[in-house]
Amino acid sequence: MKTLKIAILLSFYFFIITTEVVSAEKQKVISGINEYGGKTIEITKEKGDKGFDDTLKEIQFNDSNGIVIKKEVLYTKSFADKHGNDRKIDYLDSNGKIARTEYFYPDRLADEEGYNRQIDYYDIHGKITREELFYTPKFAAEKGFDRSMVYFNSNEKKTRGEMFSTDEFAREKGYKYAIEYYDDNGNRTMKEFFYTAKSASEYGVNRAMAYNDSAGNMTRKEFFYTEKFVNENGFDRSINYYGGNEKLTKRETFYTDKVADKNGRSREIGHYGGDGKTAKIEIFYTTVYAHNNGFNRMVIYYHDGAPTRVENYMDEKLVKNSLVSGKKNSPPRSSRAR
C-alpha cells in the first residue's frame, strides 16, 4: 500500500513537471489599466511551447472585467517569409469571436504586393464580409489610389470593391473614388465614378457608371449631371452605348420634366456610324405633345453632318415623311461626347 502511494505521488509530480515544460510560456503585465479599462499582458513563448518557432510574443488586452478584447501577435522572420505578415491583431466581440483581423506586412512583401496593411472583417459566423487594403506610397503614386475595400456575400464571393483615389490622382482624373461591382465569377460588371467638386463644376458631371460585358469590354456609360448643368442644358442624365472596340454607337439623353412640359421632348437618342458621325437622331415626345401635334416620335436622318430626311411617327406608324436639302445642322448639344 505504501509503495502504491509513493507511485501515485511520483506520477503526480511527473505530471506537474511535464505540464510546466509543455506550458512554459511567460506572462507579464505591462499595463495595469489600458484603453479598455483592464490589464495588458505580454506573453512570450519558451522552447517546447506550441507556436514557439512562429511567434516572438503575444500581447493580450483585457477589459475591466478581464475579458480579452484584443490580441496582438508578433511573428518570427521564418513565419513572415512563409505566410507574408509579420504582425497580426485580432479584435474580439462581446462573445469572444473575432470581429476583425488586422495584418501588417514587412517592407519586402509590401514592395512586391503594393500594400503594407490589411483588415479582414467577419460576421458572427466567422465568414469574411469585407477586406480593406492600405497601399504603399509607391503603389499609390503609380496606380492612383491608396486604399481599397472589397465586400463579400454570404458565400464569401466578392460583390463589389471601392477604391479611394489619392489627391494627385483626383486632381488629374477628376474623380475621388470609384466602386466596382462583380458577378458570381468575380468579373467586373460595372464601375461607378464619383467626381470631385472641381471636376463637377467644370464638366457638369458628378457621377458616372460604366458597364462591362463578360469579356471586360465597356458596353455603356451613364452620366448624372449637376444641378447647375441641368438648369443650363435641360437634361439630367445621359447614356453612351458602345460596340466593338468600345466605339460609340449611340447616346441617349433624358430631359427634365420642366423641359418636357415646355417643349414636349422627354428623351432623345443619337445614332452614330462607324466614322463617328451622326447617322440619325430620334426624339421622343410626351403624351400631351403627341395629342396636340399628332406624333410622339421624330427621326432625323443625317449624311455627312447634314439632315437629309425627317420622319414623324405615332407609336410605330409613319404619319409624315419629308426631305431636307442643303441646310447644315450640327447635332443637338445633348449629343456632345463625354
Ordered DSSP codes for 146-180: EEEEEEE-TTS-EEEEEEEE-HHHHHHHSEEEEEE
Q: Which letter does DSSP use for residue 331 in this model? A: P
Is the separation of the CB atoms in 272 and 302 below 8 Å?
no
pLDDT at 169 over 80: yes
- CA distance readout (Å), 56 to 29, 59, 169, 222, 275: 17, 10, 40, 53, 66
Q: Which letter does DSSP use for residue 333 in this model? A: G
Amino acid letter, 207: R
What is the pLDDT confidence band of residue 297, given thresholds at 50, 70 and 90?
A: very high
pLDDT at 253 over 60: yes
Q: Return the CA Rg of the chain.
A: 33
pLDDT at 75 over 70: yes
What is the pLDDT confidence band of residue 86, given thresholds at 50, 70 and 90?
A: very high
**pLDDT score of 335:** 41
Calculate the average pLDDT of the chain: 89
Amino acid letter, 281: I
22-26, 125-129, 201-205, 251-255 — which is least confidently predicted?
22-26
* 104-152 tens-digit pLDDT: 999 988 999 999 999 999 999 999 999 999 999 999 999 999 999 999 9
The span from the CA of 212 to the CA of 223, in Å, is 15
The span from the CA of 99 to the CA of 127, in Å, is 10
pLDDT at 4 over 60: no
Q: Cβ contacts of residue 173 below 8 Å, gap of 6+? A: 144, 165
In this structure, the number of other CB atoms found within 10 A of the CB of residue 244 comes to 8
State the average pLDDT over residues 176-189. 94
pLDDT at 329 over 60: no
Query: CA angle, 53 as apex, 48 and 59 as ends, to 5°?
Result: 90
**pLDDT score of 3:** 45
**pLDDT score of 255:** 97
Q: Helical H runs in 23-84?
A: 77-83
Residue with cell 503585465: 29
Locate the domains of the chain by residue range.
1-104, 241-338
**pLDDT score of 326:** 53
Amino acid letter, 101: T
pLDDT at 244 over 90: no
Partners of 267 in the beta sheet?
254, 284
Report the DSSP pairing between strands 145-152 and 128-135.
Answer: antiparallel
In this structure, the number of other CB atoms found within 10 A of the CB of residue 224 comes to 17
* Closest to 108 in 3D by CA, of 80, 75, 145: 80
- CA distance readout (Å), 144 to 138, 191, 203, 210, 219: 10, 16, 21, 19, 24
Is the separation of the CB atoms in 235 and 216 below 8 Å?
no
pLDDT at 171 over 60: yes
pLDDT at 68 over 90: yes
Q: Which letter does DSSP use for residue 330 in this model? A: P
Helix (H, G, I), strand (E, B) or coil at 37: strand
Query: CA angle, 229 as apex, 223 and 230 as ends, to 5°?
Result: 80
* Half-sphere exposure (Cβ direction) of 34: Cα atoms closer than 13 Å: 21
